[in-house]
Chain A
Amino acid sequence: MTLNRHKYNTRFHKHQIVLIDDKGRLFESCDSIFDSSEYIGLPLEDHFYFFESELVNFQKSAATKTKFEKVKVNFKSLPGYYDFVLSKIDVNGQNCVLWEIFDYTTIYNEYLIIQQLRNEISIIEQYVSKYQSSKKQDDDNFFQSNFRSTKNIKLSDLIKELEESKFDLFSSISVWIDKAYIEKGITELKECMSGLIDEINFFVQQLKASNYEEVNISDYVSSLIAKNNNDQTATIYSTSYAEGIPKKLFLDKKIIEKFIRILMMQGPGQEQLVEKSLRMAYEKSFEGIPFLVFNFKEQVESVSNLTSTSACILIKITILKSLVNMIGGTLKVKIDENEAYITTDLFFPLK
């Protein structure tokens, strides 16, 4: 297989091979992910701090191959999240390094959303249990001092933030101080989050492990050596990459239903006033893709001020919104200024 053929083969797999010489200079690459022409012959570490330490570390170590997962680097040509694999290869007696880049930006971005929510929920839980075990149970300022305060923030502004995907759990927690509610909510949320992390981990594993094709690239390496005017044979080297990376992660119906249950959960102080309506249906698109539509309407005490009820609703909607973004659905939130209702419209594609 020649260099160009390798490029063709991996066009859809987002797998790039870069050969680095014994001086740490970029020697050659198949350019499947980034165009290496401007770096040829230059020390990589000048543009790419990762190699300032890692090339030396790797050359010094006994390992012949090492892998770095979920790497984010300060390098304009690689703006996403990647897995890097470094291998030692011998080219004409020179100790070169083969640097493989796997682009998993899409999947790692999804992973990030779930990890974010899981961590936030766990941090809130830690504060709540600290609050409960402290002598300061009646200190109303406790949450204000531990979380970003949202006093004097208008509900409609927060909903706008939500629309722009800027809203985070912490910004509303300071008014979300009903302990019983938090406890109940957190237990359920944590269960959902660990379920989601499991699901994503499984997906990532599948992505990386199954459907892999062993590709012998020793010809490729030989072609590099030939270019170097030498006819020695290269170390036999083979690598593997994912065949046909799935485009999207789909969530299981069960998980989505769990989230909906949380969304429906009673908030503090809602006993007398709460009025809710829900419409939920499983349908199929023209292309036969199953999806879930969902319309949820909930009453709040006031639309102009942020109360614990509306904060609760917002927290729940924030979580759903992140998930919906992740799986390519849509979520729209409206507030009815006259009747003090928050309406959530959801559309979820399903497995």
Chain B
Amino acid sequence: MISKKVILTGSFGVGKTSIFNQFLFQKFSDKYLTTIGVKVNKKTVEAKGQEVSLLVWDIAGEVTQDKVPTSYFLGASGIIYVMDLSRPLTFEKLDSDIAYLEELLPGAAIKIVGNKKDLLSKEELLEAQQNISKKLDAITSAKTGENIPDLFLNLAEELV
């Protein structure tokens, strides 16, 4: 079986752990419990007829460049960069963070995700997208589970 290391990163409180829990256990909690360091777990999915074991690293939401030790990123094949659509401050460093990740992990697949879709009206969602400097690969809600399985499946397909 193929093993792929996937990293969830982005500012604090954007929903990385919630996406992780929704994907792994189909569970969601309203209560915020911050992550420190890194939490590692795995789930096997099927992509292009192959079993892929995704080793998901849920890392603490810190400023990517100066706070997260580079050892966490070592050997990662996929990156999920999460932003909170309801908090514009979480998209502010998108460009520089992605540039940093591309340099650190050349060849890794990067998915840019806007989360907490359920908190926004149609107009607010449009407005948020206009303020985000890159095209979103997925718009998700860890609360309702919307687009969460697809996010990981698409990533897995890109990785095999």
List the interface of chain A (C-beta within 8 A of B). 49-50, 52-54, 56-58, 60-61, 66-74, 81, 108, 111-112, 115-116, 119-120, 122-123, 126-127, 130, 145-146, 148, 168, 170
| Residues on A with beta carbons closer than 8 Å to the beta carbon of B41 | 49, 74
Closest to B38 in A: A71
- A116-B34, A127-B87, A145-B119 as given contacts; A61 in contact with B40, CB under 8 Å: no
**Chain B residue at minimum C-beta to C-beta distance from A166:** B31
Residues on B with beta carbons closer than 8 Å to the beta carbon of A130:
86-88
Closest to B5 in A: A53
Kindly list the 4 A-B residue pairs having the minimum CB-CB distance in the complex, ordered from nearest: A70-B37, A57-B75, A53-B5, A49-B42
Q: Are A71 and B13 in contact (CB under 8 A)?
A: no
Residue of B nearest to A50 (CB): B40
Looking at the assembled complex, report how far the CB atom of B76 sits from the nearest CB atom of chain A, in whole angstroms.
8
**Complex contact B30–A148 (CB within 8 A):** yes
Q: Within the complex, which residue of A56, A71, A72, A73 is in contact with B75, where a contact is CB–CB below 8 Å?
A: A56
| Interface size class of chain B, counting residues whose CB lies under 8 Å from the partner chain | 20 to 34
Q: Which residues of B have CB within 8 Å of A53? A: 3-5, 55, 75
Which listed residue, B31, B36, B39, B72, touches A115 by the CB 8 Å rule?
B36
A69 in contact with B37 given A52-B42, A148-B30, A170-B32 (CB within 8 Å): yes
Give B contacts to A, CB under 8 Å.
Answer: 3-5, 12-13, 30-42, 53, 55, 60-61, 69, 71-72, 74-75, 86-89, 119
Q: How far is the CB of B124 from chain A (nearest CB, A)?
A: 10
- B13–A54 touching, CB < 8 Å: no
Say which residue of A56, A70, A119, A145 sits within 8 Å of B13 (CB atoms).
A119
Give how many A-B residue pairs fall within 8 Å (CB-CB). 97
Q: Complex formed: what's the CA distance from A119 to B38 in Å? A: 17
Considering the chains assembled together, what is the distance between the CA atoms of A72 and B59 in angstroms? 10
Instruction: Report how far A326 CA is from B60 CA in the complex, Å.
Output: 20
Q: Which residues of chain B are near A126, meaning CB under 8 Å?
A: 87-89
Give the residue among B38, B39, B40 with the most A Cβ atoms within 10 A: B40
CB-contact partner of B74 in A66, A112, A123, under 8 A:
A66
A317 to B47 CA separation, bound complex (whole angstroms) = 50
The listed residue (B12, B38, B55) touching A72 by CB distance below 8 A is B38
* Measured CA separation A74–B33 after assembly (Å): 17
Indicate if the CB atoms of B55 and A49 lie closer than 8 Å. yes
Cβ contacts A to B, 28 pairs, < 8 Å: A49-B55, A52-B53, A53-B4, A54-B74, A57-B5, A58-B74, A61-B74, A66-B74, A67-B69, A69-B69, A72-B36, A74-B39, A74-B40, A74-B41, A81-B36, A81-B37, A108-B36, A108-B37, A111-B36, A116-B34, A119-B32, A119-B34, A120-B13, A123-B87, A126-B87, A130-B87, A146-B119, A168-B32
For residue B109, give the distance in angstroms from its CB to the closest CB of chain A: 15
Q: Is the CB of B42 within 8 A of A68?
A: no
